[in-house]
A and B are shown apart, each in its own frame.
Chain A
Amino acid sequence: EDQVTQSPEALRLQEGESSSLNCSYTVSGLRGLFWYRQDPGKGPEFLFTLYSAGEEKEKERLKATLTKKESFLHITAPKPEDSATYLCALYSGTYKYIFGTGTRLKVLA
């Protein structure tokens, strides 16, 4: 059975304190792994798509990486505005999406 697990469930960082969020998965055939950011009271906002192991993508202070078993979202020198819930989602084909429960990130000034 395809599964996604995100850790930690919640994370508090001081401004400038770099860290990583984890998304581990088991899937019969990975077609894509997505990262989204969700602010309170809003829908998720797309960040990255990774399609194959070894792939990396960057955007401002965020960098996403993918291996055959997990993906990391690295946050470098975070700012308070990076506070949000970060979701990862597996796509295994034919509109089969599985989302993780998310990591709630709080960055303190």
Chain B
Amino acid sequence: ETGVTQTPRHLVMGMTNKKSLKCEQHLGHNAMYWYKQSAKKPLELMFVYSLEERVENNSVPSRFSPECPNSSHLFLHLHTLQPEDSALYLCASSQEDDTEQFFGPGTRLTVL
């Protein structure tokens, strides 16, 4: 595997389910990010981890819970989501905070 990988690629869940999104980067980067991309809206930065410590949390609802067990892996735990949370969730990594980000292919989430 190379670059940034995300699983699953597609996820359909009910509002009462609990699921997790997984991201793995094979680039040796120090920072990892979760973004939400909805139709007609700009990418919204949700969480940032640098060297496994959370450095940014942009007022994201508590039904989204990130976890970064090491510098290569990032998870987004989901519970009791709302239909408006349906979107493309993108993971990215970068070497430093001001360098280019490498994105994964995303997880297309549908909340019924």
Contact = CB atoms under 8 A, between A and B. Distances in A.
**Residue from the set A41, A97, A100 with the largest chain B CB neighbour count within 10 Å:** A97
B41 A101 contact: yes
A43 B31 contact: no
Nearest to A45: B103
Interface residues of A, number: 25
A75 to B, nearest CB: 20
30 contacts: A34-B100, A34-B101, A43-B4, A43-B90, A43-B92, A43-B103, A43-B106, A44-B90, A44-B101, A44-B103, A45-B103, A46-B100, A49-B99, A87-B42, A91-B97, A91-B98, A93-B97, A94-B55, A94-B56, A95-B33, A95-B45, A95-B48, A95-B50, A95-B55, A96-B56, A98-B42, A99-B42, A99-B43, A101-B41, A101-B42
Interface of B: 4, 31, 33, 40-43, 45, 48, 50, 55-56, 90, 92, 97-106
